[in-house]
Each structure stands twice: as structure tokens, then as C-alpha cells.
């Protein structure tokens, strides 16, 4: 086995042990069903099992509905196919998610190595992108960012191989992977300008950077650039003129949002998710300033970082960068923090004090981010165990005629998850509580729309104060119920008369 293969095997093993070790230690892999996002597994499984329905009928319904307000067709196609194969098997889905994270880390590492980083800096590049508040994509089954980042990393890796080894087959696969990433989630469409800029920069980086060299770089690679430009233009036209730019609350452009609202959103984003990125970012930037006499040599990398980072900030302007939405922004951040200074250090004949301090700061960034990862994973596992215990308790203490009230409002997605799960387990009388109107009605199933008085409910479910989605205790008279807190949820059973 040659050196490169040994390194590849070593790094892949390292990332596998790291990811599976953390997920098994925190318990996320075995935490089961969760209220947020996981309803799709049961919903699509029920659709495919329904009369006069099948895989392609489900596929058509899901894609058509999603295109009415989103542009992520490949996500829906792959999600439906996944559920057709494994069904609502959350343990297997969690295993597949973990494998996805391992592969994402590995290909990000390979990208950094092709960009002339040593092994340590390539590992840091991968971990800075994937570890932190955004690490929820390691265990949450709904977010598209884990798959999107993996596919983008594969595309960028193929692009680098195509550019550096002049192999057209790699260029073809780079286009294919980047196209798939852009079809998987809208935020990855905005990575295409970075890819195009990188191609141009690569062709003129060894010469004096000027407009003439840029033109020459464009002429050398115009077929590849034209393909990327066509993909980007067509997808943007579809979003702007067909799907719409403001149909999801957390992203898009909203001219009705005030400046003070933006300030509050980004203030929350800073305090809850971005503070360590910013603290350590400022520290390393100050060190980079000491190389100011060499900055002209890396100006291209600086502008490439901005081309990646800025569109992501604009996309999430309304809410700020939160949790999983830090991806793919973190790629641009790591490009600036790792790839750019690695180029700066290459101009020095030996490793100096500044470089050692810089490396220590990069490692230091991962300490609080790994702490965040473990904390969030443990909460996720605890919440999942609570949900599993509550749902099993409902089945144990109910039958097909029991009336069950899901009072997780205002989180409609939680109510839908409960409804789908109960339908699959033979419970059709699942009512959803409306806190404003103080009414309850069945949202799904053969009895959809049927209303009932809250006093007729046999079982009532809602969040308690241990759950991060807790907003209030529902305004319901619980004097005739036995009230029990089960982890992060509250279970109420009507007292026997």
C-alpha cells in the first residue's frame, strides 16, 4: 500500500471512529422518532401503503407540493426512495446519516489536501466546517445540509482533480455533483458563483493578477464556466419567477422586515450560534494582519472566501445563521481561516512562532464547538427517549376508540408527527389543540375535520418546561386527569370514574 492509500485509510478510519464514537456515546443513533422533520418518514410510508397509491404516486404528490414553495426536488426524490427502501426505520436512517457525515468529513479533507494543506490543517478544515452548532446535521434526519455538504464536497474535490490533473472526466463529475447539490437545497445554488470564480482564479493565480489574466482564464475554461452559468441562471429563474423568493419564513428577501428586526435576528444568531466563530475569527485575523506585506499574493483567496460567505448571509438575512443553516456558510469561513493562511505560511522557509500560535487558535476553536456538539447531541437523545416513552405509553393505555389530544401547538409539525405515528399504529381519533380558539379537531385520517369537546379527551399530550419548544401549558382544565411528566413531555390520562 503506497503512502497516499495509507493516509486515505488512516483518515477515513479516524473520521469513522470520531463520528460513530460521539453518536454512540451521546445516544443519538438509538434515540428513535423525533417530532421535528421525522413525520416525513411515516407520512410518505403511509402514502405508499394507501389504496391506489405507489412509489411514483407518492413521489409525484410530494414533489408537486414542495415545488409550490421550495426548490429542492432532488431532496424529495431521494427522501421518498429512501423511505420506500427502509420504511420508518429511524435506527437505520441514523446509521446512514452517520455514514454520510463520515464521507463529508473525508471529502472535505481531500479537498484541503489538494489545496496544499498538510494533514493537520486538512483535518482542521474539515472539522471547522462540520463541528459546532451546525453539528445537529450529524443526527437530525430532516436537514438537507449534511447531504448537500457531502455532495458539494465531492463536486469541489472532482473540480480540483480536473483542474490540477487536467482530466475531463473529473470536470464532468464536478458538474454532476454541484448540480445535484444545487437541486438538493437552495443554499447550495449560491455556491456556484464561488465555483466559477475559483476556476477563473486557478487559471491565473501563478501570474500577476489583473483584468487581462482574468480574461485569459475565462477563455481557457469557458466551456466549463458556461455550463455552471447555465445551471445557476436556470435555477435562479425558476426560483424567482416560478417558486418565489419569500415563501419560507427563515430565508429569502422580505422588504417588510425592518432594520431593528434584522438587528434582533443577527444579535440572537451571534449570541446563540456564531459567537465562537467570531471570537476566534477575530483572533486569527489579527495574526494574519502581521503578514500584510504578503497579502497581495493571497488576495484571490480572500475574495473567493467573500464570494462564498456573502450570498449565504444574504439568504438568511431575516433570521441570521442558526444551527444547521451555518452550512454551507462554514465552508467559506474555513476557506478563509485555513486555506488562505496555509497559503501565507507557504511563503515562509520554516514554521515560525506566528504559525504555531495560529494553529493553536484553530484547535482552540474546536474545543467549545465539540462541547456544543456533545451537549446538543445528549439533549437530542434525551428528547427522543422522552418521545418514545410517551408514545408507547399512549398505545398501552388506549384502544382504537380512544380520543387522544396532541396539544403541542404552536408547533404544528409536532402535532402532525403524533397524528401520523398514531395512524400507523391503529389510532384514528387524534385531535389537535388550537390554543387561540380553545377547540380541538382531527387533522388527518378517515375522520379528518371531526371536532370534539376537550373534556371528551382520554389522553392529552403537551411539552413541559424541560423541552426547548415549550411555550406555555395549554389552557385546558386538567382536574379530571392524572398528569405525569415523562422527560421533556407531559402525559395526561383521564382518571377512572
Q: Is 388 a domain residue?
A: no
147 and 205 co-located in one domain: yes
The band of 298, judged by pLDDT with boundaries at 50, 70 and 90, is confident
Do 52 and 157 fall into the same domain? yes
Q: Which of 326, 343, 377 is the last residue of a domain?
A: 377
**How far from 199 is each of 25, 251, 335, 486, CA to CA, in Å?**
42, 28, 15, 55
Average pLDDT over residues 75-88: 94
**Burial per residue of 397-407, b for 16 or more beta-carbon CB atoms within 10 angstroms, e otherwise:** ebeeebbbbbb
Q: Which of 78-87, 233-242, 281-290 has the lowest mean pLDDT?
A: 281-290
224 pLDDT tier (thresholds 50, 70, 90): very high
Whole-number percent of the chain with pLDDT over 90:
73
Residue 1, pLDDT > 80, answer no
- Reply yes or no on whether the pLDDT at 105 is more than 70: yes
Let me know whether 239 and 293 are in one domain: yes
Q: Are residues 138 and 82 in the same domain?
A: yes
On whether residue 390 sits in a domain, the answer given is: no
Q: Tell whether 392 is covered by a domain.
A: no
pLDDT digits (tens, 9 = 90+) for 484-495: 999 999 999 999
Structural domains counted in the chain:
2
- For residues 430 and 289, state if they share a domain: no
125 and 270 share a domain?
Answer: yes
Q: Which structural domain range is residue 465 located in?
A: 399-494
Clarify whether residues 269 and 311 are in a common domain: yes
- Average pLDDT, integer, range 338-347: 88
360 with 414, same domain?
Answer: no
50-55 long-range contacts, Cβ below 8 Å, gap at least 24?
55/80, 55/81, 55/84
Is residue 255 assigned to a domain?
yes
Q: Are residues 350 and 204 in the same domain?
A: yes
* pLDDT score, position 252: 66
pLDDT score for 8:
95
Asked if 186 and 119 sit in the same domain, the reply is yes
Gap between the Cα atoms of 45 and 175, Å rounded: 33
pLDDT value at 216 more than 80: no
Residue 386 lies in a domain: no
Range from 47-56, 220-229, 433-442 carrying the lowest mean pLDDT: 47-56
pLDDT band at residue 249 under the 50/70/90 scheme: low
Whether 173 has a pLDDT exceeding 70, the answer reads: yes
Query: What one-character-per-residue DSSP string does 251-308 give?
Result: SS--TTS-HHHHHHHHHHHIIIIIHHHHHHHHHHHHHHHTTGGGGGGGHHHHHHHHHH
Residue 177 lies in a domain: yes
Residues 439 and 370 in one domain: no
Stated pTM of the model: 0.94
Segment 135-158 mean pLDDT: 96
Give the Cα separation of 314 and 322 in Å (integer).
13
| Whether 368 and 421 share a structural domain | no
How large is the average pLDDT for residues 207-226?
79
pLDDT the model gives residue 247: 67
Adjacent-strand bridge partners of 484? 491
For residue 280, is it within any domain?
A: yes
CA separation, residue 325 to residues 235, 280, 469 (Å):
20, 20, 19
Rounded to an integer, the average pLDDT of 26-52 is 90
**Residue 209 pLDDT > 90:** no
- In 67-210, which ranges are continuous DSSP H helix? 73-86, 90-114, 119-130, 145-165, 168-184, 192-204
Is 421's pLDDT higher than 80?
A: yes
Q: Tell me the pLDDT tens digit for each residue of 380-412.
A: 999 999 999 999 999 999 999 999 999 998 888
250 pLDDT tier (thresholds 50, 70, 90):
low
pLDDT (0 to 100) of residue 253: 66
- Domain presence at residue 389: no
pLDDT interval class at 51 (50, 70, 90)? low
Mean pLDDT of 161-171: 88
Please report which helix (H) or strand (E) contains residue 489, including its range. Answer: strand 489-494
pLDDT attached to residue 124: 97
pLDDT at 53: 67
Mean pLDDT for the chain overall: 92
Asked if residues 380 and 35 have their Cβ atoms less than 8 Å apart, the reply is no
pLDDT of residue 181: 98
Residue-wise pLDDT tens digits, 360-381: 999 999 999 999 999 999 999 9
Amino acid at each position: 500500500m503506497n503512502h497516499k492509500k495509507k493516509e486515505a485509510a488512516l483518515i477515513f478510519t479516524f473520521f469513522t471512529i470520531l463520528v460513530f464514537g460521539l453518536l454512540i456515546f451521546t445516544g443519538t443513533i438509538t434515540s428513535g422518532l423525533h417530532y421535528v422533520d421525522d413525520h416525513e418518514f411515516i407520512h410518505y410510508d403511509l402514502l405508499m401503503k394507501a389504496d391506489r397509491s405507489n412509489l411514483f404516486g407518492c413521489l409525484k404528490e410530494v414533489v408537486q407540493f414542495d415545488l409550490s414553495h421550495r426548490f429542492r426536488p432532488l431532496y424529495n426524490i431521494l427522501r421518498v426512495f429512501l423511505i420506500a427502501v427502509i420504511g420508518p426505520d429511524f435506527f437505520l436512517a441514523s446509521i446512514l446519516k452517520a455514514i454520510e457525515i463520515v464521507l463529508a468529513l473525508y471529502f472535505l479533507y481531500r479537498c484541503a489536501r489538494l489545496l496544499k494543506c498538510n494533514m493537520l490543517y486538512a483535518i482542521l478544515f474539515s472539522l471547522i466546517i462540520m463541528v459546532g452548532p451546525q453539528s445537529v446535521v450529524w443526527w437530525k434526519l430532516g436537514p438537507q445540509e449534511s447531504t448537500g455538504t457531502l455532495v458539494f464536497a465531492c463536486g469541489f474535490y472532482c473540480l480540483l482533480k480536473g483542474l490540477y490533473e487536467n482530466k475531463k472526466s473529473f470536470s464532468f463529475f464536478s458538474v454532476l455533483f454541484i448540480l445535484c447539490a444545487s437541486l438538493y437545497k437552495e443554499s447550495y445554488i449560491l455556491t456556484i458563483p464561488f465555483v466559477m470564480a475559483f476556476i477563473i482564479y486557478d487559471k491565473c493565480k501563478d501570474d500577476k493578477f489583473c483584468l487581462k489574466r482574468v480574461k485569459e482564464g475565462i477563455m481557457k475554461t469557458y466551456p466549463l464556466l458556461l455550463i455552471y452559468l447555465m445551471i445557476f441562471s436556470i435555477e435562479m429563474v425558476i426560483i424567482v419567477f416560478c417558486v418565489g423568493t419569500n415563501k419560507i419564513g427563515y430565508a429569502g428577501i422580505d422588504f417588510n422586515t425592518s432594520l431593528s428586526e434584522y438587528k434582533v435576528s443577527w444579535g440572537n444568531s451571534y449570541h446563540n450560534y456564531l459567537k465562537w466563530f467570531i471570537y476566534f475569527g477575530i483572533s486569527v485575523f489579527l495574526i494574519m494582519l502581521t503578514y500584510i506585506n504578503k497579502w497581495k499574493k493571497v488576495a484571490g483567496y480572500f475574495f473567493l472566501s467573500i464570494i462564498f460567505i456573502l450570498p449565504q448571509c444574504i439568504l438568511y438575512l431575516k433570521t441570521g445563521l442558526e444551527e444547521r443553516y451555518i452550512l454551507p456558510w462554514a465552508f467559506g469561513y474555513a476557506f478563509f481561516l485555513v486555506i488562505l493562511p496555509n497559503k501565507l505560511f507557504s511563503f515562509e522557509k520554516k514554521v515560525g512562532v506566528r504559525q504555531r500560535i495560529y494553529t493553536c487558535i484553530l484547535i482552540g476553536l474546536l474545543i467549545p464547538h465539540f462541547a456544543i456538539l456533545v451537549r446538543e447531541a445528549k439533549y437530542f437523545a434525551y428528547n427522543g427517549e422522552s418521545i418514545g416513552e410517551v408514545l408507547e405509553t399512549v398505545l398501552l393505555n388506549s384502544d382504537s376508540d380512544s380520543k387522544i389530544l396532541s396539544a403541542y401547538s404552536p408547533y404544528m409539525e409536532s402535532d402532525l408527527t403524533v397524528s401520523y405515528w398514531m395512524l400507523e399504529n391503529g389510532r384514528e381519533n387524534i385531535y389537535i389543540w388550537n390554543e387561540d380558539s380553545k377547540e380541538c379537531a382531527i387533522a388527518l385520517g378517515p375522520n379528518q375535520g371531526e371536532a370534539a369537546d376537550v373534556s371528551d379527551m382520554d389522553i392529552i399530550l403537551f411539552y413541559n418546561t424541560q423541552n426547548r419548544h415549550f411555550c406555555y401549558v395549554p389552557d385546558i382544565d386538567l382536574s379530571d386527569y392524572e398528569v405525569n411528566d415523562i422527560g421533556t413531555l407531559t402525559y395526561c390520562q383521564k382518571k377512572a370514574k
